[in-house]
Amino acid sequence: KMGYWILDESLSILLFLLWLGLNMYLFIDTFHWYEGEDAYLYTRVMLGSTLAWARASAACLNFNCMLILLPVSRNLISYIRGTSICCRIALRRQLDKNIAFHKMVAYGIAVNAIIHIVAHLVNIERYHISQSKEAAELHIKLSGIGKNPNESYLNPMKMYDMNTTIEILTTIAGVTGVVITVALILIMTSSTEIIRRSFYELFWYTHHVFIVFFIGLVIHGMGQLVRGQTPQSLLLHNVTYCKDHYSEWEKATQCPLPQFSGNEPVAWKWVLGPMVLYVCEKIIRFWRSQQEVVITKVVSHSSGVLELHMKKRNFKIEPGQYIFLQCPSISQLEWHPFTLTSAPEEEFFSVHIRVVGDWTGALSKACGAEEKVFQKPWKLPRFYFMGSMLKACVLLNHLVFTWQVYFYWICRDPSAFEWFSDLLSLLEAQMAEKGKSHFLSYHIFLTGWDESQATHIALHYDKKVDVITGLRQKTSYGRPNWDIEFRKIAENHASSSIGVFFCGPKSLSKTLQKTCNLYSSANPRGVQFHYNNESF
């Protein structure tokens, strides 16, 4: 149901169309200006339409470079979340998609950079050809301007026998253009998922080449490669008449020799504000990251999950918040996000870390989890952390004001239930005490088991508690039939607005999003499923 997806993602689609529309407006407006402005008539004679292509893409590059840093300013986003202007759920959900917007803007930069580079390569070649003896007479005439005293040039290629590559590498525009291009290639290629996950420090280092990119971008325009006729010259030299009487330029008073100048650099006007904002962001992050936390408890679960309890002075958490953790003894650069698994009412804050990669494996070893021995507090690794924005998700143990919660957990390994079943058991007891037994309806699915486990499960099926988790609600085996589950919830809560919160693999995320759209009523007053995906 494409219509439901459009409704669910209406704000995202609107923002995408707004961004795309602004890019198209900038491109088309700049393109037409350079195609029709009298000041660039003689430049167009030599370069043709590639002049407009180069300048239009440059305008879009400046615009997108202004935007690219904003989505990764986490403190700014967190601040906006906490203000009254961001009170609607749709706006909060949109802020959760900051990295997706960052990537979209990056693609915009890449596309416009390609257009800009290709257009200027063609421009350089056309400048070069205009110096040849086979060129049109007007081209030769324009290329000759600037060789005598008190004349300003139009063609940066002074002679035909000059090496264009050497000429490019000896100009400000050329050198900075090469630097910007190399920096952009490094940033884009190192941002692929395989590099980020397997070589994080390589990703981190090369991504910070953006500093070189921005500096080069600001300097690039100072080369003034694109030149046009000066305003004073336009008053004396009427291009409409003089372009057809170029043989009289040095003789007739109505056509004095035209004078040219380069464009003033404007990139700094676009990027100065975001760069200052990002520097402030980095200062805040550095200050916060130096606030050390105290580890009060380390629990190693047999399911390969490491549970850390921590304390920090004056730190208050909110449901659904996540933090970035750094362990200097493992890496001075790597900061990893983890959702807080403790409730705001508790005296500590905790995270559950699944040991699946190099960093988490090194962390488990540093905490003594592999040796299964007690680590004295002073021997535990030092940690720094940064609090961050709230996600659209919520914590199970802080949902007391929600009417009803349906919780689905799908696991392959039975041992993975170990640490979480304790929390669910505690919630069962708390809800029973408050007379809210109906509040939490959880459904646990086990997708992997061996023959001996299956026999054991069958023998103890009649017990009041589940043989795997020890909980009152029994574990199901296999994968859930989402059509049945969603249909049942929709029937039980007609005319309700239901939030669906998911964290897990992308393939299942797509399935759930489609199912949400499928079972949302076409009638706005009917049942509506609102999909939210937590990803870092």
Averaging pLDDT over each range in 19-28, 136-145, 244-253, which range is the top one? 19-28
pLDDT at 536 over 60: no
Confidence grade of residue 149 (pLDDT, cut at 50, 70, 90) = confident
Nearest to 485 by CA among 500, 470, 503: 500
| CATH 3.40.470.10 corresponds to the domain 396-533 | no
Name the residue with higher pLDDT: 160 or 395: 160
Average pLDDT over residues 61-80: 89
Average pLDDT over residues 360-366: 85
Q: How far from the centroid of its chain's Cα atoms is residue 128's Cα? A: 41
Q: Is 353 in contact with 306 (CB distance < 8 Å)?
A: yes
Mean pLDDT over all residues of the chain? 82
Residue located via tokens 């080369």: 223
| Residue range 239-287, pLDDT digits in tens | 888 888 888 787 767 788 899 998 888 999 999 999 999 899 888 877 8
Nearest to 396 by CA among 407, 383, 412: 407
Nearest to 374 by CA among 295, 303, 293: 295
Q: Which H helix or E strand runs over 432?
A: helix 418-433
Q: What is the reported pTM?
A: 0.78
- Rounded to whole angstroms, the Cα distance separating 522 from 525 reads 9
CA-to-CA dists, residue 148 to 110, 131, 158, 239, 260, angstroms:
41, 16, 12, 21, 14
pLDDT at 441: 81
- Helix 50-67 vs helix 98-129: crossing angle, to nearest 10: 150
Q: In the chain, list all ranges with CATH 2.40.30.10.
A: 291-390
pLDDT at 387: 63
- Rounded to whole angstroms, the Cα distance separating 230 from 422 reads 77
Percent of the chain with pLDDT over 90: 27
| Residue range 112-122, pLDDT digits in tens | 999 999 999 99
| Residue range 314-333, pLDDT digits in tens | 777 766 677 888 888 888 77
SS (H, E, C) 321-368: EEEEEECCCCCCCCCEEEEECCCCCCCCEEEEEECCCHHHHHHHHHCC
pLDDT at 360 over 50: yes
Q: In the chain, list all ranges with CATH 3.40.50.80.
A: 396-533
Q: Which residues pair with 499 in a beta bridge?
A: 530
Which tokens is 152 given?
A: 């300003």
| Residue range 427-468, pLDDT digits in tens | 777 777 777 767 778 788 888 766 666 665 666 566 666 655
Nearest to 230 by CA among 35, 30, 43: 43
Confidence grade of residue 390 (pLDDT, cut at 50, 70, 90) = very low
- Rounded to whole angstroms, the Cα distance separating 38 from 433 reads 82
Confidence grade of residue 535 (pLDDT, cut at 50, 70, 90) = low
Lowest mean pLDDT among 86-95, 246-255, 299-308: 86-95
Name the residue with higher pLDDT: 469 or 341: 341
pLDDT at 454: 61
pLDDT at 6: 62
Q: For residue 320, give the amino acid letter.
A: G
38 three-class SS: helix
Q: How far from the centroid of its chain's Cα atoms is residue 345's Cα? A: 33
Q: How many residues make up the chain in this entry?
A: 536
Q: Which residues pair with 409 in a beta bridge?
A: 444
Q: Which H helix or E strand runs over 48?
A: none
Confidence grade of residue 471 (pLDDT, cut at 50, 70, 90) = low
Strands (E), 263-339: 294-301, 305-311, 321-326, 336-339
| Residue range 477-532, pLDDT digits in tens | 788 999 999 999 998 888 888 888 888 888 888 889 889 888 888 777 888 888 87
CATH superfamily name and code, 291-390: Translation factors (2.40.30.10)
pLDDT at 396: 45
